[in-house]
Amino acid sequence: MKQWTNVAEFILLGLTQDAGMQKAVFVVFFILYLATLVGNFLIMITIKVSRTLKNTMYFFLFYLSLSDACFSTTTAPRLIVDALIQKNIISYNECLTQVFAFHFFGSMEVFVLIIMSVDRYVAICKPLRYATIMSHRVCVVLVILAWMGSFIHSLGQIFLILRVPFCDSNVIDHYFCDLQPLLKLACMDTYVLNLIFVSTSGAICMVSFIILFISYVLILYSLRNHNAEGRRKALSTCTSHFIVVVIFFVPCIFIYTRPPTTFPVDKMVTVFYSIVTPMLNPLIYTLRNAEVKIAVKSLWCSK
């Protein structure tokens, strides 16, 4: 690493430089992060302990909650701590670690959402073959492939950064380390690297969103042959899934599928999909899912 850079640390400017606003940032994001951990771990524990939540949808929901909790942890704790101190310094190695973790758990969430849409498509469109197609072994293999795909993608992002020489500037106008803010500090032409960045992270966001959108269109089309009760249950489940997809992918597409330009709203958009969305997912899945609500009540009331 020392061969490629003479920058040993970076300074994160955070969300704001105003002292009064930093106190508000600390309070607000501490509450959001705490709610994220409580909500997601509540779902994970409920799924593991409950005897009624044993089908494949909840198997995948467990890993979605796990990726949500970890994804938020890659940025929120640092943002909360940095709001209390004056000079927010992160070392070069810590910065690379944050880039890897952010893309790893973000990609994991993307892949799990795709798997969940496939699961719902098979359950609604192929109900007689559902148990055969989505067997426990298949589900485990799909989750392993999601982990592997996330690891390969994140490793690729690190290889991009390792080939970037940094000069004297080490001030990152963001609240965490990511490829776009880092590439702005490079003392080289980063046009090709930006193209690679958009064609990897941006392509994952865009292609995944298109796949998910098509899968839900096919599900809605197939519901015309179901009875009223079947349509109601399927629509309730798919609606909650699609809400999660929209609030996660739209901000991601805005950030990762455009040329290397900066807008004033970039930080807040990133906050929304990296911190707010992981907090909203447990609420969406519990409030719109009667089985999860009943399981949570019966489990925790008995305890």
CATH architecture of 9-302: Up-down Bundle (1.20)
What pLDDT sits at residue 1? Answer: 42
Check residues 253 and 101 and name the one with the higher pLDDT.
Answer: 101
Q: pLDDT for 199-217, tens place per residue? A: 788 888 888 889 888 888 8
Rounded-to-10 torsion of CA 154, 159, 161, 162? 140
CA gap 65, 182 in Å, rounded: 29
Residue 185 · residue 166 · CB < 8 Å: yes
Residue of 124, 120, 165, 246 lying closest to 3 (CA atoms): 165
Check residues 48 and 148 and name the one with the higher pLDDT.
Answer: 148
CA gap 112, 130 in Å, rounded: 18
* Residue 220 clears pLDDT 70, i.e. is over it: yes
CA gap 205, 139 in Å, rounded: 23
CA gap 53, 226 in Å, rounded: 24
Q: What are phi and psi of 10, to 5 degrees?
A: -125, 155
What pLDDT sits at residue 3? Answer: 45
Check residues 28 and 292 and name the one with the higher pLDDT.
Answer: 28
Q: What percent of the chain has pLDDT over 70?
A: 92
Residue of 116, 22, 25 lying closest to 68 (CA atoms): 116
CA gap 262, 254 in Å, rounded: 11
pTM (predicted TM-score): 0.89
280 Cβ contact list (under 8 Å, min separation 6):
244, 247
Q: pLDDT for 78-116, tens place per residue? A: 999 888 886 788 888 999 999 999 999 999 999 999 998
Displacement of CA 65 from its chain's centroid (Å): 10
What pLDDT sits at residue 290? Answer: 72
Query: Domain extents for the chain?
Result: 9-302
Q: pLDDT for 167-198, tens place per residue? A: 767 888 888 998 888 888 888 877 888 888 87
